[in-house]
Structure 1
Amino acid sequence: MSLSIRLATVYGTMFLFTGVYLPFFPVWLKAQGLDATEISLVVALSLFLRIVVSPFFAAVADRIGDRRRVMVWLAWASLVSAALFLWVEGFGLILLVALVLNAVFPSISPLIETMAMRARIDRGMNYGRVRLWGSITFILASVGAGWLLEWNPPSIIALCFVAALSLNVAGIWLLPREKPPVRKPVRRGSQFADVLRIGRHPVFILFVLAASLTQATHAVYYAFGSLAWQGQGYSDTVIGLLWATGVVAEIVLFYVSGPIMARLGAVRLLMLAAAAAVLRWTVTALSPPLAVLFLMQVLHGLTFGAAHLGAVQFVTQAAPPRLAATAQSLYAAMASGVIMGLVTIGVGPIYEELGPHAYFLMAAAGAIAFGGAVLVAMRWKGEVLVPEEDGQEEERSQENGS
């Protein structure tokens, strides 16, 4: 079995879970008796653990040189924690389980992204055509879960979590074992010092903030999109189709991503994503007719897909290989943790007061992110932000040219 098929299988099994979790976890929370503020707290507070946990596991993987082993640990921990949703009740216990689940499962993503991007560089693998299988299974999961909810109680969602994460464990087991690279002795603390160097570099900070804010424009959508559409009278099947439409657009973008990434580059991809966010959320805030709403969902291919492609390309170019997983996790911690968490906490009471008009704030955030991307374009020309060691500069420059 080729590496591309194995990676596609992992993406596919990961997004089976995400395809149920993102659209319908808030629906399950509401069925457990949580109000809008409590839902936003469960969704948001669980994001903050990624600030510390994801970089920690990524640093462990970089240190031992075996990302597969760390991913197996994380996949099993995710399955066990999700299974607890079958028994827990009440805000406190639900929050505790959500904290654990959102500490371990998202930590898999930077590791698999790093493995995939290295395969793109070393073997010429088409990253987008491997990653799109995650988007395909997201569609199947969101539509399937919506269909199941038409004739089952919301408790079915927790069972879907367990089934999807069981498949994720199996998918990660298919990955090839990695041999730890032969490295020259490194003085104690030097890797941590390198992480600090890239983590506090002004260009890295500015890009990560702009990309994270672009992803955070989805906060109302992720936390309350399904509930808002239920309030507008749409069935769970239609809601599942709306989510799926956005991911279909994402799939199309990933399929043709090779030449697009080469032509536009990381920063212009982010600028495109931020501009699309301004349009998408402005129109969505107006509660447009269903046909227009489907059209706005198509822009998910840009607001999420283009921002994601730009971010993974930026980290691959800006960070040296020895810090690849750690740098990816720093971005993921900001995008899916700090910024998304802060915005999600804020939109809870705002959505309770404004309803769908809260999307106007997401459009404003997109405009700010666009400005940040413009500043990055003025300061970064594709160079590595932390110099290579042991004469690896020439090798790195050859990789970027491939």
Structure 2
Amino acid sequence: MSLAIRLATVYGTMFLFTGVYLPFFPVWLKSKGLDAGEISLVVALSLFLRIVVSPFFASVADRLGDRRRVALWLAWASLGSAALFLFVEGFGPILLVALVLNAVFPSISPLVETIAMRARIEEGMNYGRVRLWGSITFIAASAGAGWLLEWNAPSVVAICLVAALVCNVAGVSLLPRIPVPVRKPARHGEKRFAAILEIGRHPVFVLFVLSASLTQATHAVYYAFGSLAWQRQGYPDTVIGLLWATGVIAEIVLFYISGPLMARFGAVRLVMLAAAAAVLRWTVTALNPPVALLFLMQLLHGLTFGAAHLGAVQFVAQAAPPRLAATAQSLYAAMASGVIMGLVTIGIGPVYEALGPHAYFAMAGVGVVALLGAFMVGRRWHGEVLAPEEDGLERQEEHGN
């Protein structure tokens, strides 16, 4: 079996889980008696975990020199923790299990991505065509889970999560055993911290990261309460699954044409486009539009998520020198997927409890703030590198010696 097929299978099995978890886990939480505030806490605290836990497991894999083994441990741990959802009751136990699950399962992805990017660089593997299978299985899982919910109690969601993770264990076991040189500890830890400060405290970088992160955070109501809001508005679960699938299809199309799009718009304009699309998407969604118009709004997911992600990737590539590229990317990822999204998700729980689907108006407001921030970045940044190309610390050390 070729490496591309192995990796495509891994991505496919990983997103089987995500395709059930993202749309329908809040539905299961509600069926267990959790209110909107408790649901937002379960979702948000799980996001905060990713900031620390994923880098920890990645460093363990690097020290062991075996990413496959650590990924397989994490896959088994994910399956074991998700199986507890079949038995737990009450907010506290459910939160504890959810935190364990969200500590281990998301940590698999960076290890798989590292193997895939190495294959792309060293063997010329087409990363996009391999990664595409994850989006395809996400669509199948969200649509399939929605169909199952039409005929079964919400408890079927937990069963689907466990079944998806059984498939994930089988998929991860297909990862190749690629020997990785064991990394020695860095001699000067203070240099790493200084490098983080060098790019992380630049006002243009900070403003851009906040703008792109806020654009991603406009999805907080959608991720935490989207399915519940549509159920509240009377949509059947099959339609809800198709609505989620429509958003992912739009995302796939956008990534397929990403090359010309990035060249035409540039990093800042992509984020501006994403923020403007978020204002439109969430304003219309808050108004409980007809289902045909709602599907059109879901197509904007390609912009609200995809364009913001592409803009962030391009900005990091241009604004950070190569020696700080990974640091800059990790800072953005921590803010967008962890800190900002987590804070907005916690805050949106009481808002949704009070306003229901009209909470999407708050997300449109966040989009306006993100759009203004991106506009300010566009006036201050014109494609230049935001930090010196040469590591000043190393240069000073050489001169001192």
Q: TM-score range by the shorter chain?
A: 0.7 to 0.9
Report the CA distance between 1:292 and its aligned residue: 0.4
Matched, 1:51 2:41: no
Report the CA distance between 1:46 and its aligned residue: 1.9
2:202 and 2:386 in contact (8 A); partners too: no
In 1, Cα distance between equivalents of 2:310 and 2:118: 14
Deviation per residue, 1:16-73 (Å, 9 max, x gap): 1111011111110111111111111111122222222233334445666654444333
Letter of the structure 2 residue corresponding to residue 135 of structure 1: S
Change (3 A) 1:290 1:101: same
In 2, Cα distance between equivalents of 1:68 and 1:318: 33
Residue 157 of structure 1: aligned partner: 157
Change (3 A) 1:243 1:382: farther
Report the CA distance between 1:291 and its aligned residue: 0.6
Residue 398 of structure 1: aligned partner: none
Residue 90 of structure 1: aligned partner: 90
Residue 392 of structure 1: aligned partner: none
In 2, Cα distance between equivalents of 1:105 and 1:161: 12
Residue 274 of structure 1: aligned partner: 275
Change (3 A) 1:223 1:311: same
Deviation per residue, 1:169-226 (Å, 9 max, x gap): 3323323334335879841414455445444444443333222211110111111111
Letter of the structure 2 residue corresponding to residue 243 of structure 1: W
Letter of the structure 2 residue corresponding to residue 287 of structure 1: N
Residue 132 of structure 2: aligned partner: 132
**Runs (5+) with no aligned partner, structure 1:** 390-402
Change (3 A) 1:232 1:63: same
Residue 104 of structure 2: aligned partner: 104
Matched, 1:239 2:233: no
Change (3 A) 1:73 1:333: farther
Residue 381 of structure 2: aligned partner: 379
User: Larger radius of gyration, structure 1 or 2?
Assistant: 2
Letter of the structure 1 residue corresponding to residue 274 of structure 2: A
1:55 and 1:329 in contact (8 A); partners too: no
Report the CA distance between 1:288 and its aligned residue: 0.6
Matched, 1:170 2:141: no
Residue 362 of structure 1: aligned partner: 363
Report the CA distance between 1:157 and its aligned residue: 0.8
Higher mean C-alpha deviation, range 207-216 or range 257-266: 257-266
1:58 and 1:326 in contact (8 A); partners too: no
1:66 and 1:180 in contact (8 A); partners too: yes
Change (3 A) 1:251 1:68: same
Residue 293 of structure 1: aligned partner: 294
Residue 396 of structure 2: aligned partner: none
1:129 and 1:255 in contact (8 A); partners too: no
Letter of the structure 1 residue corresponding to residue 171 of structure 2: G
Change (3 A) 1:113 1:266: farther
1:114 and 1:324 in contact (8 A); partners too: no
Higher mean C-alpha deviation, range 32-41 or range 170-179: 170-179
Change (3 A) 1:258 1:68: farther
Report the CA distance between 1:279 and its aligned residue: 1.0
In 1, Cα distance between equivalents of 2:184 and 2:91: 50
Deviation per residue, 1:339-378 (Å, 9 max, x gap): 1111111111111111111111111111222233334443
Letter of the structure 1 residue corresponding to residue 305 of structure 2: F
Report the CA distance between 1:150 and its aligned residue: 1.2
Residue 34 of structure 1: aligned partner: 34
2:62 and 2:180 in contact (8 A); partners too: no
Change (3 A) 1:65 1:41: same
Higher mean C-alpha deviation, range 298-307 or range 100-109: 100-109
Letter of the structure 2 residue corresponding to residue 42 of structure 1: V
Residue 21 of structure 1: aligned partner: 21
Change (3 A) 1:68 1:153: same
In 1, Cα distance between equivalents of 2:94 and 2:128: 35
Letter of the structure 2 residue corresponding to residue 37 of structure 1: G
In 2, Cα distance between equivalents of 1:85 and 1:343: 26
In 2, Cα distance between equivalents of 1:24 and 1:46: 16
Report the CA distance between 1:290 and its aligned residue: 0.7
In 2, Cα distance between equivalents of 1:275 and 1:197: 31
Change (3 A) 1:53 1:386: farther
In 2, Cα distance between equivalents of 1:77 and 1:241: 30
2:84 and 2:97 in contact (8 A); partners too: yes
**SS state at 1:101 partner:** helix
1:62 and 1:323 in contact (8 A); partners too: no
In 2, Cα distance between equivalents of 1:245 and 1:319: 34
In 2, Cα distance between equivalents of 1:168 and 1:208: 32
2:42 and 2:95 in contact (8 A); partners too: yes
**Root-mean-square deviation (Å):** 3.0
Alignment of 1:315-354 (within 5 A): 315=316, 328-354=329-355
In 1, Cα distance between equivalents of 2:115 and 2:267: 19
**Corresponding residue pairs, total:** 390
Change (3 A) 1:329 1:103: farther
**SS state at 2:271 partner:** helix
**SS state at 1:49 partner:** helix
